Amino acid sequence: MKVPLKWLAEYVPLTMPVAELVERLTLAGLEVSGVRLIGVPAPEGLRVKSAEAGPVWPPDKIVLARVQKVEPHPDPAVVNLKLPTVEYGGGRTKQLVTGAPNLRVGDSGQTVILALAGSVLFSHHAKGSEKVLQELKPAKIRGIASDAMVCSAFELGIDDDKEAGIILLDEEVAPGTPAVDILGDIVLELEITPNMARCLSLIGVAREVAALTGQTLRLPPHQPQAEGPAIEGQVRVSIENPDLCARYAAMLLRDVRIGPAPGWMQRRLSYAGMRPINNIVDITNYVLLEWGQPLHAFDYDKLRQRAGGKPPHLIVRPARAGETLTTLDEGNRTAPLKLTTEMLIIADEAGPIALAGIKGGADTMVTPATRNVLLEAANFDFLCIRRTMKALNLPSEASVRFSKGIHPEMVKPAAGRAAELMRQHSGATVCRGSVDVYPRPLPPRIIELKTAEIRRLLGMDLPRSECVRILRALEFQVEEIGTDTLRVTPPPHRIDIEEGPADLIEDLVRLYGYDKLPATLLADQLPPQRTNLPLVFEERLRDRLVALGLQEVITYALTTEEREKLLGLPPCEYVRLQNPISSERQVMRHSLLGGVLEVAAANLQ
């Protein structure tokens, strides 16, 4: 999970130094495995890998500038170079030379990033994917003096694409503004363990930061300004099996204009590891990263066309034998998926239109011609999504989150937030209301936590006031009963609270600090130590064989029948895994030879 700190700061004030924040998050169970610096120097006390530290953008040397005019090179034979004149603050102007493909003769008014002489940037002339920092010095380019340059994302260390043109910003920013103030950021890479899956969102991480630092969480507004006609009668939704789909909500947006998302949103998505596509798709991805709730946008007019001009009827059901779903692969080529009865799909009365929680169909996808959008927010069974994701080898940001479990209560705020963003950034009119099918709402859980249990599990006493503070900071409702009991109600997003008091105590000690637990000796005698003679013999034998020049090979105990058939083994029965982690690890091997040959082949390559 990549967390840009400027984005995170929208939900919680970041009051402590970055190095301290990294340490506190790691001790609280959110390990920070990497820190990427974009335009900024390494914060004091923070160790950063050289590969994650790009060029630093000095505020007086790398600034925003406005293009006044773009002229052709005076030599008619030089067709790939242009001469832009830019203003970079205080009425200062500068002419320079560029070959940027997205800046054309006659252009004006664009906002670009200008690097002055003395700036240190990644060089375009390095071989292959190699990144080499080089100082920008005055030079003559095809006879024209140039002591500055307009920058691409590669040169600034934002992107790895050398072929992309220069950065063109859509924000109204004064020329001369330091680029680091607008584009600079620090991105934390978090290793999210399964028990912390609630932190697969910016708001989830912000909750943890707020609880760790004593700050107040600021949730974004998620009530859309709905001024269109009511959604009733314009779409129907049915759920065949509530065990596979706990909730399905749909909202309708009319008169959508498809175009690029605003620059600030595209940057946040890029820094978080997602590729911007268009405003509608980008908003669904933005809300996915913000709330942790996947969304999907259908072309509403295509759904009506499939329904013969009538209001579409969406059905959440298992796929039927022989059904297929046409999708787009990474190269935008149509790719039919063969469905099985174990896979959950979204269908209309004409057939499948999406693979639930994983991938949308090509027939109803949003395109530049889309004018009306049906927005889906749903909650699917995590085991079903995980099995389908593994079977089809289709991991995605959405399927990863569904496969770890999401509470159905996340559906409504995420849908409302996305609808409002679409209204603001695509000109859409939001229809009033939503179609929200929620057949079996989950009842709230109530857990009684006794101070004696805290002492038993931790081996120490936590002050009752501190327990109440930590739990309330994590948005638990806490009622104090008597002198030794807390009645705790977990918030909707905490579906990981399954073991009752033990899970609550884990949260208490995470936030209190594992480093504050007292070190104690074992309250019993250690058992007598006896030598494991078979193990000693095995280690000695291994050492002798290595000394004779042999090499030890450790291979997988799992393989496939097809690989073992190549060894000429006689037909035999195999122990087969019901849920293999890989298509190459399905059965227990009958021979060591296959693994040894695989290692030999890999070494020869």
- Domain assignment present for 220: no
331 and 454: one domain?
Answer: no
Task: With 0.95 as the threshold, say if the pTM is over it.
Answer: no
Which sign does the torsion angle of CA 470, 192, 408, 436 carry? positive
SS3 207: helix
Cβ atoms of 416 and 223 within 8 Å: the answer is yes
**Average pLDDT estimate for 461-465:** 89
**111-116 and 53-56 beta bridge pairing:** unpaired
Residue 383 backbone dihedrals phi, psi, to 5 degrees: -70, -40
pLDDT tens-digit readout, 407-427: 999 999 999 999 999 999 999
- Domain assignment present for 141: yes
102 and 153: one domain?
Answer: yes
pLDDT tens-digit readout, 483-521: 889 999 999 888 888 878 999 999 999 999 888 888 887
Chain mean position to CA 209 = 18
Long-range contacts, 595-600 (Cβ 8 Å, 24+): 595/553, 595/555, 595/556, 595/559, 596/553, 596/555, 598/555, 599/553, 599/555
246 and 256: one domain?
Answer: yes
Question: Could you tell me the CATH number of the domain that includes residue 100?
Answer: 2.40.50.140
- Domain assignment present for 521: no
CA distance 464 to 226: 46
275 and 367: one domain?
Answer: yes
pLDDT tens-digit readout, 311-352: 999 999 999 999 999 887 655 666 788 999 999 999 999 999
Which sign does the torsion angle of CA 348, 250, 475, 482 carry? negative
| Averaged pLDDT score across all residues of the chain | 91
Range with the lowest mean pLDDT among 11-25, 79-93, 120-134, 207-221?
120-134
- Domain assignment present for 561: yes
Q: Is 590 exposed, middle or buried (0-12, 13-18, 19+ CB in 10 A)?
A: middle
383 and 500: one domain?
Answer: no
pLDDT of 222 over the 60 cut? yes
The structure tokens 């609550």 sit at 504
Cβ atoms of 176 and 89 within 8 Å: the answer is yes
pLDDT of 528 over the 90 cut? no
pLDDT on residue 563: 86
What does the angle CA 415 – CA 488 – CA 471 come to, to the nearest 5 degrees? Answer: 75
pLDDT on residue 339: 93
489 and 396: one domain?
Answer: no
- Domain assignment present for 123: yes
pLDDT on residue 128: 66
CA distance 371 to 484: 60
236 and 350: one domain?
Answer: yes
495 and 591: one domain?
Answer: no
- Domain assignment present for 221: no
345: part of which helix (H) or strand (E)?
A: strand 344-348
pLDDT of 19 over the 90 cut? yes
pLDDT tens-digit readout, 392-401: 888 888 888 9
Question: Could you tell me the CATH number of the domain that includes residue 235?
Answer: 3.50.40.10
Q: Where are the alpha helices (DSSP H) in 365-448?
A: 382-392, 397-404, 411-426
CA distance 248 to 235: 12
pLDDT tens-digit readout, 439-452: 999 888 899 999 99
The structure tokens 């049906």 sit at 374
pLDDT of 547 over the 80 cut? yes
pLDDT on residue 331: 53
170 and 230: one domain?
Answer: no
pLDDT of 249 over the 60 cut? yes
For residue 83, the cross-strand partners are 71
Total number of domains constituting the chain:
5
**Average pLDDT estimate for 219-230:** 94
pLDDT on residue 161: 83
CA distance 551 to 542: 9
**Number of Cβ within a 10 Å radius of residue 483:** 7
Supply the Cα-derived Rg of the chain in whole angstroms. 29
pLDDT tens-digit readout, 35-65: 999 999 999 888 888 777 889 999 999 999 9
Question: Could you tell me the CATH number of the domain that includes residue 507?
Answer: 3.30.56.10
pLDDT on residue 541: 95
pLDDT of 526 over the 90 cut? no
247 and 301: one domain?
Answer: yes
- Domain assignment present for 527: no
Range of the domain at 473: 447-516
pLDDT on residue 120: 92
- Domain assignment present for 218: no
340 and 276: one domain?
Answer: yes
pLDDT on residue 532: 92
pLDDT tens-digit readout, 112-147: 999 999 999 998 777 766 788 889 998 888 888 889
**Average pLDDT estimate for 171-190:** 93
344 and 357: one domain?
Answer: yes
* Per-position b or e across 498-521, b if 16+ CB within 10 A of its CB: eeebebbbbbbbbbbeeeeeeeee
CA distance 510 to 466: 13
pLDDT on residue 330: 57
pLDDT on residue 333: 60
pLDDT tens-digit readout, 348-376: 999 999 999 998 999 999 999 999 999 99
Nearest CA to 345 among 322, 368, 329? 322
